[in-house]
Structure 1
Amino acid sequence: MPQPFLPQRGNYRNLIAYQKAECIYDITFFFANKFLSKGDRTVDQMIQAARSGKQNIAEGSAASTSSRESEIKLLNVARASFQELLVDYEDFLRVRGLLQWPSSDMRSIRTRQICYARNESSFYREAIQVRSPETIANIAITLIHQEDVMLRKLIEKVQQQFLQDGGIREQMTHARLEYRKRNGG
């Protein structure tokens, strides 16, 4: 039986990057609705940036079956959306005179450890219920930084797979030539 030239990919829910993105979205939805004023455009912008990041990972993963180019583009859109969201959280802290924890701060160190180990959005939805806006913003910032690293590595992996395996046209041509060779045609 010949190897399929169109391997099925797209199981985005198993990607840690997607799981973290869902956590970021859930935190942002809670945060924006709880700590920002109704009617403030930032509410919609933050929620949409978090949603865009998450959705573009899912869409890029689904597109990966037939287009590495689309996958890479969509993963980069996800990165850009999370960078936009990062700036919103940093702005929130700065304009309110709240602290963005330095990386050497014990709260920051502990938050990085927890965020590294936990990828379930239910964990964060529960944990943020009793946290201050400063703490929640710093948790979100930590997750966004971790997400950015994961997306950069994922994009590098996809680029490497493209160099190694080629694109869909190359794979289709190779499969067709192999079929002809085996079947005398």
Structure 2
Amino acid sequence: MEEKKKNTEGFIPTHGGYRKLITYQKAEIIYDGTVYFTKRFFQKYDRTIDQMVQAARSGKQNIAEASMASATSKETEIKLTNVARASLEELLIDYEDFLRTNKLPKWDKEHRLVARLRELNRIPNGNYETFKKAIEHESPEICANAMIGIIKVANYLLSQQIKQLETAFIKEGGLRERMTKARINQRNKKQ
């Protein structure tokens, strides 16, 4: 209890909690889905497997790392969140390449299954099981397009998250400002 009080009075804000972020939850689905997809649709030693899995992992891990770094560096938090978004964009292109090179259609917004994917993406606390039927469908077209849809949602949410981080930084400042403010407040208490 004393530790919590100390933290609220200090200059290091609460940090972490990334598992509650929708972006992290989506990134975890994307990672698990990519591992499944690459094992299923690529030859064992295809370098694309490593590239896609690494991009998916980078998306997920950078969200977690950004959240943990947020206490002492807003700049690092913003940069790592953007790295996550860039990694997922790279992965999106890999799925689009898969469709194109296998002469499979990429769904547009009007495709009938895109509406179902939107419904699934709105489910609170959605996880791999929420999307499993699409990700593990027998049709590679459905699998790849489902992954594309989830990645697009994650990237949109990451863009929004970056905008919020920017706004918060402008309003609240960074660690140095909080340190200075805490030090001034401590001096004023002694007077």
**Alignment TM-score, normalising by the size of structure 1:** 0.94
Shift of 1:126: 5.7
In structure 2, what is the equivalent of residue 30 of structure 1?
36
**1:87-132 CA deviation, whole Å, 9 max, x = no partner?**
0000000110111111111111221221232621233346533442
Structure 1 spans left out of the alignment, 5+ residues: none
Count of aligned residue pairs for this structure pair: 184
Shift of 1:77: 0.4
Code of the aligned partner of 2:94: D
Q: How do residues 22-61 of structure 1 correspond to structure 2 at under 5 angstroms?
A: 22-61=28-67
Structure 2 spans left out of the alignment, 5+ residues: none
Paired with 1:73 and 1:108, the residues of 2 have a C-alpha distance of 31
Code of the aligned partner of 1:154: Q
The question of 1:154 aligning with 2:167 is answered no
Code of the aligned partner of 1:7: P
Query: Identity across aligned pairs (percent)?
Result: 47
69-78 vs 112-121, which moves further: 112-121
Across the aligned residues of Structure 1 and Structure 2, the Cα RMSD in angstroms comes to: 1.5
Paired with 1:103 and 1:125, the residues of 2 have a C-alpha distance of 21
Paired with 1:113 and 1:4, the residues of 2 have a C-alpha distance of 43
Paired with 1:67 and 1:143, the residues of 2 have a C-alpha distance of 29
For the 8 Å contact 1:59–1:74, the answer to whether it is kept is: yes
Q: How do residues 101-120 of structure 1 correspond to structure 2 at under 5 angstroms?
A: 101-117=107-123, 119-120=126-127
Shift of 1:38: 1.2
In structure 1, what is the equivalent of residue 142 of structure 2?
135
The question of 1:181 aligning with 2:188 is answered yes
For the 8 Å contact 2:12–2:175, the answer to whether it is kept is: yes
**Which runs of structure 1 show a deviation greater than 6 angstroms over 4 or more consecutive aligned residues?**
none
